[in-house]
Amino acid sequence: MNRHSSNYSPILNELFEAILSLEDLDDCYNFFGDLFTMQELTTFAQRLQVAKLLYEEHTYEMVRKQFPVSNATITRVSTALHYGKGGYRKVLEGMRQRESAEEA
């Protein structure tokens, strides 16, 4: 997808460019800690964990047992994972590759 897509905007571009400029985990903690509340960060982190479990083919019930999220959140994440733009899949596959490389 190119930057002229209707989904792109200058302020989002600037945010994402800022994120891409981060060099390490400490930078991420500092930037996202300033940008979001702890509750917001926790919510985003839980969504990623929900996506990871669904990607690994866990059931909704198994997800609910591990994370205090609503059925609506699980459904929203599942829909994005299966019918979205591929963002979750790209991140999850990258995480899986990184974990495999660290184990080797």
Cα distances (angstroms) measured from residue 99 to each of 27, 28, 92, 95, 104: 21, 19, 10, 6, 9
3-49, pLDDT tens digit by residue? 555 678 999 999 999 999 999 999 999 999 999 999 999 999 999 99
pLDDT at 104: 77
The pTM of this model reads 0.84
Question: CA 63, CA 68: separation in Å to the nearest integer?
Answer: 9
pLDDT at 1: 47
pLDDT at 3: 53
